[in-house]
Structure 1
Amino acid sequence: MYSVLKIAFLSYFLLSLSWLAYGQDVIKLTNGEWPPYMSEDYKHKGLISHIVVEAFKNEGMTVEYGFFPWKRAIKQAELGKEWSGSVGWSINKEREAFFIYTDPIIELKDVFFHRKDLQFDWKTMDDLKNYKIGASIGYYYGDEFEEAEKRKKINVSRTSKDLNNFKKLVAEKIDLFPSTLEVGYELIADKLPEGTKNILTNHPRPIRTTNYHLIINKNIKDAQKYVDAFNRGLKKLKESGKYDQMLSDSIDGKYRP
């Protein structure tokens, strides 16, 4: 009987140690600049960064971020040496070869921004053929847009940064610019002259709706454990009501420096 109790106690002790170690886990993730969702200068490192931290916190885990240019951020996560994964990525086949995707952190919409004095409406890509459309180099706007651009069904000129496209929009050098809704208004409020928000608006129809995920390198130790922990923590965050509050805070500009 004594031996049975001793074995039971030892098993409980080892499980406790395992739980304690799990509770002290630190996961290192790469990150990048995409205000208001991710930014080294924003409060809590931006909305998406904050959601990830709080989700892991619900499972007794701590997040450490490293901020890099986006190409380097994904490369460091792909190597899986110092960094276990990266924050804020949509699903594509190339990344699926290296990473496990968590449940979506957030769903975002890309819309067309335009000047308020432009009478603009659209339903299909065919409705866009008479407009000058700006776009950002390296950014993907969905299969339909990319195919129309490739086939010259729409007139697209690409520029290096979203901000430059918004400046061109204000100056009437382009008619339309597709951008993630909240990102667009963040740039307008933070980087463009005061009063620009009175000049620009957006069409409500989304060009695409995209889920953004945390991605974990498939080859690191306990990769699936991290994915499962995040998914559980995110579910708890939503059930608590804190997730919706964080979304509202972002819309109200509370993550800005």
Structure 2
Amino acid sequence: MKARLTSNLRREAAILLLSLTLAQGASATVENDKSPIKIALGERPPLASADLPDYGPLAQLIREAYRLEGQQVELAVLPWPRSMQLVRDGHWTGSGIWLKNPKRETEFLFSQPVVEEHQVFFYRKNQPLAWMQLEDLSHLVLGGLQGFSYGAAFDSALTDGSLTMERERSDLQNFEKLLRNRIDAYPQELRVGLWVLGTLPRHSQEQIAYHPRPYLEEPAYLIFGLDQEAARDSFDRGLAKLKASGRAKELLDGGAAGMEGPLPRSN
């Protein structure tokens, strides 16, 4: 009788211990689920920049999208190549904003489209730019950003040597080279280019124009590690809610307001 009682007590103690262990594991899982999602942004003023309040309207859109899904997000503005590598290595959850290309689609998960980009060529007014197709630019030296994709056709032309590009770390460096006649044209998203030029002296701005024909019009996305499907899906759900309510347009259009500036198009 005594042995049977002892055996029952041991069994009940074991069950209690197992229950406590499972409860602690569940609690830890909940805590892990609440850990901040980490998104690295590249310099993309007026949408995202370390110099903008709270990193700019794109950062605010990301915060609000995750907040609608009950999740926290940690944001930072980092150099473009580093931000992508941090996601590739699994140190950060995601990064933005990026264009799609075949290589990236094998390495990352892509969100739903975040913003439509309009890529144009900036050039010196004393050296007018006339082009109809990319091959017309083969005699020019173009500026570019490290780690950037310029769309499938453009990237292919760079790879096979049909186009020549000198890459720098920042937009400002590229515009300085353009002003000093060290490059002939600089491809950049229209809003971004106008914003950066607006930080230069007026006499410098007056030397630059942009061609009205975009060489690329495509959506840009957040990218996520291949094991971050839950974080990607959560962002997509929040983004869809922001788009449906008009809040996404309000944020992104607000970031672009006043960016046209005095800079002329080419005739």
The alignment's TM-score, normalised by the length of structure 1, stands at: 0.75
Q: How has the CA–CA distance of structure 1 residues 159 and 57 changed in structure 2, closer, same or farther, with 3 Å as cutoff?
A: closer
User: In structure 1, which of residues 181, 201, 205 is the aligned counterpart of residue 209 of structure 2?
Assistant: 201
Does structure 1 residue 229 correspond to structure 2 residue 223? no
Contact 2:93 2:231 in 1 (8 A): no
* 1:1-257 to 2 correspondences below 5 Å: 26-81=36-91, 83-190=92-199, 192-219=200-227, 223-252=228-257
The alignment's TM-score, normalised by the length of structure 2, stands at: 0.73
5+ residue gaps, structure 1, are 1-16
Q: Cα RMSD over matched residues?
A: 3.0
Q: How has the CA–CA distance of structure 1 residues 155 and 90 changed in structure 2, closer, same or farther, with 3 Å as cutoff?
A: closer
- Cα distance, 1:103 vs structure 2: 0.4
Contact 2:101 2:149 in 1 (8 A): no
Contact 2:58 2:251 in 1 (8 A): no
- Cα distance, 1:25 vs structure 2: 6.1
- Cα distance, 1:160 vs structure 2: 4.7
- Cα distance, 1:167 vs structure 2: 1.6
Counterpart CA distance in 1 for 2:182 and 2:80 is 28
1:198-219 CA distances to partner (integer Å, 9 max, x unpaired)? 3212112122223222222233
SS at match of 2:115: strand
Q: How has the CA–CA distance of structure 1 residues 127 and 22 changed in structure 2, closer, same or farther, with 3 Å as cutoff?
A: same
Q: How has the CA–CA distance of structure 1 residues 157 and 230 changed in structure 2, closer, same or farther, with 3 Å as cutoff?
A: closer
1:107-152 CA distances to partner (integer Å, 9 max, x unpaired)? 2122101123444332112332454433344433233333434555
1:2-43 CA distances to partner (integer Å, 9 max, x unpaired)? xxxxxxxxxxxxxxx9xx989966322233333333222312
- Cα distance, 1:184 vs structure 2: 1.0
Moved more, 242-251 or 32-41: 32-41
Q: Which amino acid aligns with 2:236?
A: N
Counterpart CA distance in 2 for 1:129 and 1:215 is 32
Identical columns (%): 33
| Structure with bigger gyration radius | 2
5+ residue gaps, structure 2, are 1-26, 260-267
